[in-house]
Amino acid sequence: MEVEIISKEIVKPSSSTPKHLTTYNLCLLDQLAPPVYIPIILFYSASSENFCKKSHHQLKTSFSETLTHFYPFAGRLKDSFSVDCNDEGAPFVEAHVAGEMSMILEEPDIHQLEKLLPCNPHDVSPEISSQVIAAAQVNYFDCGGMAVSVCIWHAIGDSSAVASFLTSWAAIARGASDDIEGVISDCTSLFPPQDMLNFSLRNFLKEDLLNKIMTKRFLFDSSKLAALREEVGNGPCLERPTRVEAVAALIWSAVMAATREENENGTETETAEINAATMAVGLRKRMIPQLPKLSIGSIFQVAIANCSKDDEKLLDYNGLAGKLHESIGKMNNDYVRKIHAGGAYFQFLRKKGEELGKNPNLMKVFGFSSWCRFPFYEADFGWGKPTWVGTALTLYKVAIFIDTKDGQGIDAWVSLPKEDMVKFEQNPGICAYSSFKPST
């Protein structure tokens, strides 16, 4: 698939940021976000509208107006504590894709999707002050279809913030931008920033480590997911698992089986046997008072579910889902404030980071990040809602969940060491409930 860049320019906010707002302070949760971009790609089928003419007039102009509301996205990092909201702008790229959009939608491949992004998700600038915070790319296919992609630096925005940016951009493009409020919220009093000297998550994002990782998409459509939820809910630990809990329990079980099989067979491997799972839990609705719905930042807390050696072979899907449900349920206002009191959570992470920094391969945790229920499919720029929404992010031993278009299924993007992926995709549960092609 050939992608030819038609134009590339830096788009500045339509209005200058007031002087009293030129510094945006990062809270601890922002500081702890992985040093990557969050990439989202929205695919739009061909319509009677002329995408090229409309996009130049509407998309670029509305992108500039949206940056005025999300003004830190047009700035640059000042240091590990703040963003200089200097209105330097964000890259806006237009590209032509030789081929039909169907060649991607029929069997999405992360390497093809990466070509549709305005930057590499792992593109970390050696100079912090030159790190672009947001970028967008509009891709035109030969069939008349279009893919709009954005990359937002994770420290400034989690998946919820990316969804807020995209839906706000779309609303401005179609002239319906009356409710873009509460975008900027200072969380430094809730989560005071810390000195990040000698602390970094980059050990888990090194090129040599990521080269050993394979990322694949597993589709859990609505009918199979409904059946999976029934099976997972058949037990004493959890009666009604959510979609996310059911799929996470299945994937966690399959990952543990894959890593356990290698260890039992004495297979030479650099990876450790998985015995714990983490789930990124959004905090905007869980804090008291609640944080604004559209607020930027990486406002999430990681919940941890442990599976001991004694439990490992005894726990079925229901038991694993129960552990996940319990760990997620703890993330209320009181608990979050308690674990962060006096910087205790950061000190815990610093200690663990030092241990794993010596050998990231021995991490025994598999992570989940659910982007479900975020309104990506509501992003209508004036020519209808997306046909499909995808991502192109590889993280070490992590699965990312995105809704299917009907809101009932889940696209799971699973990243594992290559030797583990071979075992994982042959797992009976994975084969029974997931597929590799969309149900369109």
Nearest to residue 327, comparing CAs of 248, 221, 423, 219?
248
Q: What's the CA dihedral at 91, 95, 97, 102 to 10 degrees?
A: 60
CA dihedral 47, 49, 51, 57 (to 10 degrees): -150
Report which residue type is found at 117: L
Catalytically annotated residue among 30, 69, 154, 420: 154
Residue 417's contacts (CB-CB under 8 Å, 6 or more residues apart) are 212, 213, 214, 269, 270, 271, 397
Rounded to an integer, what distance in angstroms lies between the CA atom of residue 70 and that of residue 65?
Answer: 9
Query: In this structure, how many other beta carbons lie within 10 angstroms of the beta carbon of residue 330?
Result: 14
The yes-or-no answer on residue 178 being catalytic is no
Catalytic choice (84, 123, 316, 380): 380
**For residue 301, what is the enclosing H or E element?**
strand 300-306
* H or E element that contains 7: strand 2-11
Establish whether 154 is a catalytic residue.
yes
What's the angle, vertex CA 382, arms to CA 378 and CA 384, rounded to 5? 50
Q: What is the set of active-site residues?
A: 154, 380
